[in-house]
Structure 1
Amino acid sequence: MSGLAGTGRLTRLALRRDRIRLALWVLGTPLLGLALAASVTGIYPDDSSRLGYARTAASSVVARAFNGPIVGPDLGAVVVAETYVTLALLAALLSTFAVVRHTRQNEETGRAELLGAAVVGRYALLAAALLVVVGANVATAVLLALGFVASGLPVAGSVAAALSIGGVGVAFTAVAAVTAQLSVTSRGANALAAAAVGATFVLRAAGDVLGRQTDGGLRVESAWPSWLSPIGWGNQVRAFGGERWWVLALPVALLAAGVALAVLLVGRRDLGAGLFAARRGPARAAPGLLGPAGLVWRLHRGALLGWAVAVTVLGFSMGVAADEVNDMVGENPAAAEAIAQLGGGANLVDAYLAAMLGLFALTIGAYVVQALLRTRGDETDGLLEAILATAVDRVRWLLTQVLGAVLGAATLLLLAGAATGLGYGLVAGDPLGRTASLGGAALLRLPALLVVAGVVTLLVGLAPRWSVALSWSALIGFLLLGQLGAVLDLPQIALDLSPYTHVPSVPAVDVAVLPLAALTAVAAALVAAGLGGFRHRDIPS
């Protein structure tokens, strides 16, 4: 029997399983790119504003670290500088999660062993996952290129920008194919792949920071560390700045090498095993695991630690960058107005800080969704039935999960705000005062996250089969409304659909208690409805 026997059927099965996720990925990424491009076009509408942006972005160390190198003052170059890193990280993470889900997770849950009882080759599972994920990246790149062209950008640059983002996804498809062979768990494989994403981002940032300015200070030539990073390769394509098409061969080469290595590793291990041996646990469980609260902490502490490190580092960096806001947009009224709209205040620095805290709150919403959707995973994997066979009842178990997610979100908000305040305070000369004030300002975003938790709880309780897709769709909707609604002048009735709209943009404006109390009440009602539905429906459902 061929090692690839059954690949076609496994590919169709993967497409069937992920039809909703793939639709959100393939359609959502281009729509996000189109929305970001439209917002950038509105902020920098003329040549003079784009010239000022290019000069400032090329000279700012912070801008180079987070946005990458600018390749010129053209509209397309500005759009790429503002959107590439976001879309590239999204492509990298979506690709790694998808590969692991269809390889290591299938082995972890026993699906691979069941499938292996049929006429299925040893490498068919890996081949099917690679076909689906690479195909999703290609489709995303095609639609993204069409979106850029529809926005009025040049065709060649649009195609190069879209392929550079698709290339990042293809590169990390190869990375995930290898990490799925190393770890014995899907969580471990995802962690290794995410660490690779983080390492390549740091390499890219270092190369861009160490780069040199050219063309009268309007372009940046990256240093050698960027060439070690698949994320940096996309920047080196130089879309809208004299495209270098040959760079697109690098992700393809990495894919070929990664697939070859993954195939070699598959042939050297047993089904369900990993190249890294599983760590033996203690002989006796900790007393805290006797209750649902201790179990929640044990299951979520690793993810919470990773999120905590990420928001602390990013918060400190954003705080340090606050001192450069006046220089970066002082000569661009449109950019200043956009920051004021996002931050909700007239003082540019305070508006920037408020906007950053709002962005952190939106991002931490992903942690809330991720943490609460674990309940659905425990249910479908059969773990919940074993828990409910003990003295733990349904409502207590789910409510503990909600409280754990909310406490984790509050911790992350506090860390993000305090780190932002510390970074800005060190520059402005008041580290303790700014750390305390921005830490408190960040916590004021918690009611919006309570609503996110309420929405997920409601979906898990009343619509469990659709809870994953609808929960992420709701969060993406809140993201688009919260970050782009004001810039795109959407009607207020649309903006009000997002709970983040109702949170006062402290420190740019004064605290308002009524909207925070209203959001908390709405969240409580959503959680109560979700608990009621969960209490009366079948397990599993």
Structure 2
Amino acid sequence: MNALLRQRLRRDRVQLLLWILGTVALAATAVGGVTESYGDLADRTAVLATVMANPVILMFRGLPSGAGEAQVALFLILPFLAMLAAFMSTFLAVRHTRAEEEQGRAELISATPAARVTPLAATIVHGMLANVVLGLLISLVYLGSGYPAAGSWIVGLATASVGLCFLGVGLLSAQLMRTSRGANSLAVWILVATYVMAGLGNALGTPSDDLTRMESGWLAWLSPFGWAENTRPYADDAVWPALLGIGVGALLTAVAFAVQSVRDLGEGIVPQRHGRRWAPASLGTPIGLVWHLTRGSVLGWAIGGFLTGLLATSLAAVVNEIGTKIEAVQKIFESLSQQGGLESGMVVIFYIIAGVLAACAAVQTVCRARQEEVHGTAEPVLASAVDRVRWLGGYLVVAFAAVVLTIAGALLGSTLGAARSETGSELMNDAVVAGLGQGIAACVFLSITALVFVLVPRATIVAGWVLVLVGLIIGMFGPLFSLPDWLTGLSPFTQTPELGGNGDIDLKGVWWLTATAVVAAVASLGLMRRRELHPAG
């Protein structure tokens, strides 16, 4: 097992380094951000009081446990640290189990004395080490910031517990599904569902009399994110909720071992869906084939866009009372919407989320081209009358359609939300401008991922998702944590047009976003002419 563990550590050294350092950096930004934006106890108390009055905000933040500086910092950042740990763990689990079977490497190892159990055991140890290192570094960040020692260790434990829980989710998903794509999709949907459950549980909780603490509702106790938040670092410093996550992860891992022992190599418990007897005519074109392969995921992203747009206009009216009470919060909203007021700022923030969803839809579609290449299914297509440029062009067209559908879903949701608001027409103007701008920003990620696919095929999946993650962190947390303007401006999500208070449109960085997207897309198609297939993973 030692050899397999060393192989996994060597293979993942770059990916894990990016995941861990990125998460630790995000944890560190919360310290300075809270100190600068909410340095006064009265401001922090007012923020929490506003949250209690509008508990739906808790769906996007953590669980309030007090108005202390460290407590507010963890209220703002802990769910996102846990989410990054969960993503890291699920992808790691699937990559070293189901993906290995798809590519034929697991069969070679199972023919040796290592058999089928040792690789799974090595993956478990690998995932555990990654989460332990992540939790330890996060704790050291907060210890070095002068936060209380007990709470700092609890933060690291809570983050690692979610990662370990989803390590088990990823391992079991890899046993149930027949493809790595199916396993990753199942694990991600479970992650999103449990994150939403924790948010709803917090929103349905009971606030304290002084409006600085919220007791979770029962729904949060069904989610690993809810367990992590109920450790309440720097307040209760409870260990046992984190142990729930670790225990569930261990149970799921044991079930994964049991399932592996009863299934055939290369097969899954969930049966493969049979295709139609006769193929539709649309499959005779590259675009039709790509759409057939990706339509399920595109629909999922579009539904996410619809819900985001609905919340954008439904909650915009809530922020008026925030601005009248808390100057720091007003500055944050206005830093994202420098021309408009607080309601406009709320719409812009939600449409940054919609832009991230559109970018994810595009990146996932382009990454599918790399998966088809690795699995060998691209070669038969290219052996026909379809050339390389036309083949890649099909993925770019469908990826662009995914962006359009996601943003269109957001605008449809905003229309429904604005119908119940007195300022609905103004909110929709903001939504349309922000939505179109975020669509352009998403196309930047689409084109750059396609260019990476052509130039450095093996880096496609990692580079595409890392770029979106970095753009999200800078775009969403830059203003919150008072990062320099030049750094926040590097994110395409923050350079989209906005509607000014006098009705004029501030184009901001729309021209360089458009130019980047077009140039990268054209370059990827041009360079694809001479690119050979790279089926090796």
For the aligned pair, the TM-score class normalised by the smaller chain equals over 0.9
- Hey, what's the Cα distance between the residues in 2 that align with 1:181 and 1:464? 27
1:70 is matched with which residue: 64, 73, 82?
64
Does structure 1 residue 341 correspond to structure 2 residue 332? no
- Hey, what's the Cα distance between the residues in 1 that align with 2:340 and 2:163? 39
2:95 is matched with which residue: 95, 101, 108?
101
1:401 is matched with which residue: 381, 395, 401?
395
How far apart are 1:429 and its partner, in Å? 3.7
2:453 is matched with which residue: 460, 483, 486?
460
1:204 is matched with which residue: 183, 198, 204?
198
How far apart are 1:495 and its partner, in Å? 4.6
Q: Is the 8 A contact 1:180 1:186 kept in 2?
A: yes
How far apart are 1:236 and its partner, in Å? 1.1
How is 1:146-185 mapped onto 2 (pairs within 5 angstroms)? 146-185=140-179
How far apart are 1:340 and its partner, in Å? 0.3
Deviations 1:308-354 (A, max 9, x none): 22222233234322221122343111110111002223411112212
Deviations 1:350-391 (A, max 9, x none): 122122212321343233222212222222222222221011
Instruction: Work out the percentage of aligned pairs sharing the same amino acid.
Output: 33
How is 1:178-327 mapped onto 2 (pairs within 5 angstroms)? 178-327=172-321
Q: Is the 8 A contact 2:418 2:425 kept in 1?
A: no
1:133 is matched with which residue: 117, 127, 135?
127
- Hey, what's the Cα distance between the residues in 1 that align with 2:430 and 2:338? 17
1:419 is matched with which residue: 381, 392, 413?
413
Change over 3 Å in CA distance of 1:153–1:417 after alignment to 2: farther
- Hey, what's the Cα distance between the residues in 2 that align with 1:76 and 1:134? 27
Partner residue, 2:495:
502
Deviations 1:288-324 (A, max 9, x none): 1111101111111111111122222233234322221
Does structure 1 residue 481 correspond to structure 2 residue 471? no
Change over 3 Å in CA distance of 1:222–1:280 after alignment to 2: same
Change over 3 Å in CA distance of 1:61–1:187 after alignment to 2: same
How far apart are 1:490 and its partner, in Å? 5.3
- Hey, what's the Cα distance between the residues in 2 that align with 1:175 and 1:514? 42
How far apart are 1:164 and its partner, in Å? 1.0
- Hey, what's the Cα distance between the residues in 1 that align with 2:230 and 2:131? 19
Partner residue, 1:117:
111
- Hey, what's the Cα distance between the residues in 2 that align with 1:64 and 1:211? 10
Range that drifts further, 22-31 or 501-510: 501-510
Q: Is the 8 A contact 1:361 1:445 kept in 2?
A: yes
Amino acid of the structure 2 residue aligned with 1:536: R
Change over 3 Å in CA distance of 1:402–1:59 after alignment to 2: same
Partner residue, 1:448:
441
Q: Is the 8 A contact 1:211 1:220 kept in 2?
A: yes
- Hey, what's the Cα distance between the residues in 2 that align with 1:239 and 1:515? 40
How far apart are 1:485 and its partner, in Å? 4.0
Amino acid of the structure 1 residue aligned with 2:77: T
- Hey, what's the Cα distance between the residues in 1 that align with 2:409 and 2:199? 23
Could you list the runs of 5+ residues in structure 1 that have no partner in the other structure? 1-6
Partner residue, 1:10:
4
Does structure 1 residue 142 correspond to structure 2 residue 136? yes
Task: State the secondary structure of the residue aligned to 2:113.
Answer: coil
Q: Is the 8 A contact 1:91 1:165 kept in 2?
A: yes
- Hey, what's the Cα distance between the residues in 2 that align with 1:94 and 1:220? 29
How far apart are 1:493 and its partner, in Å? 4.9
Q: Report the aligned-residue RMSD.
A: 2.4
Q: Is the 8 A contact 2:362 2:442 kept in 1?
A: yes
How far apart are 1:273 and its partner, in Å? 1.6
- Hey, what's the Cα distance between the residues in 2 that align with 1:43 and 1:107? 49
Deviations 1:11-54 (A, max 9, x none): 22222322221111111111122224433332212111011112
Task: State the secondary structure of the residue aligned to 2:364.
Answer: helix
How far apart are 1:507 and its partner, in Å? 6.5
Give TM-score scaled by structure 2 length: 0.92
How far apart are 1:274 and its partner, in Å? 1.5
How far apart are 1:405 and its partner, in Å? 0.9
- Hey, what's the Cα distance between the residues in 1 that align with 2:200 and 2:494? 35
Task: State the secondary structure of the residue aligned to 2:207.
Answer: strand
Does structure 1 residue 472 correspond to structure 2 residue 448? no
Change over 3 Å in CA distance of 1:513–1:232 after alignment to 2: closer
Amino acid of the structure 2 residue aligned with 1:332: I
Partner residue, 1:4:
none
Range that drifts further, 397-406 or 118-127: 118-127
Q: Is the 8 A contact 2:322 2:329 kept in 1?
A: no
Does structure 1 residue 389 correspond to structure 2 residue 383? yes
Change over 3 Å in CA distance of 1:385–1:488 after alignment to 2: same
Partner residue, 2:510:
516
Change over 3 Å in CA distance of 1:49–1:466 after alignment to 2: same
Amino acid of the structure 1 residue aligned with 2:189: A
Range that drifts further, 385-394 or 343-352: 343-352
Partner residue, 2:50:
56
Does structure 1 residue 354 correspond to structure 2 residue 354? no
The number of aligned residues is 534
Change over 3 Å in CA distance of 1:172–1:470 after alignment to 2: closer
- Hey, what's the Cα distance between the residues in 1 that align with 2:480 and 2:222? 36
- Hey, what's the Cα distance between the residues in 1 that align with 2:159 and 2:239? 13
Amino acid of the structure 2 residue aligned with 1:499: P
- Hey, what's the Cα distance between the residues in 1 that align with 2:220 and 2:515? 48
- Hey, what's the Cα distance between the residues in 1 that align with 2:429 and 2:499? 13
- Hey, what's the Cα distance between the residues in 1 that align with 2:486 and 2:61? 32
Q: Is the 8 A contact 1:358 1:505 kept in 2?
A: no
Range that drifts further, 10-19 or 389-398: 10-19
Q: Is the 8 A contact 1:20 1:469 kept in 2?
A: no
Amino acid of the structure 1 residue aligned with 2:19: W
Task: State the secondary structure of the residue aligned to 2:321.
Answer: helix
